[in-house]
Amino acid sequence: MTDEKEMYGYDEDDIITLEYDDGSEEECGVVGIFDVDGKDYIALNPLGTGEVYIYGYKEYEEDFELIDDITDEEFAKATKEFESLVEQDLVDEEQ
């Protein structure tokens, strides 16, 4: 399975498995962690898709927590910041 993960451009350490209430799982690559108004967010890319999921993010000494109960306003701000970061990264790559 490691070869498949590398095919998507993520190192093993940059892959997390989301576990849903129905028992299903989905592997996602960590696109990045970023700050908006003093809160951390994480952007995840389900392997093999062009989708991006954005969650609140809290890191502990040896673990982390994904926070999915963010307000619509927080989500809109986080999405806007993520899109801005991606756009800036694309501009930087072109230069």
State the residue for tokens 């809109």. Answer: 76
Q: What is the pLDDT of residues 33-85, one digit of tens each?
A: 999 999 999 999 999 899 999 999 999 999 999 999 999 999 999 999 999 99
Which two three-digit tokens encode residue 83? 């899109």
Q: In what order do the strands lie in the sheet with 64-67?
A: 15-19, 25-36, 39-46, 53-59, 64-67
What is the distance between the alpha carbons of residues 35 and 42, in angstroms, rounded to a whole number?
Answer: 9
pTM confidence score: 0.84
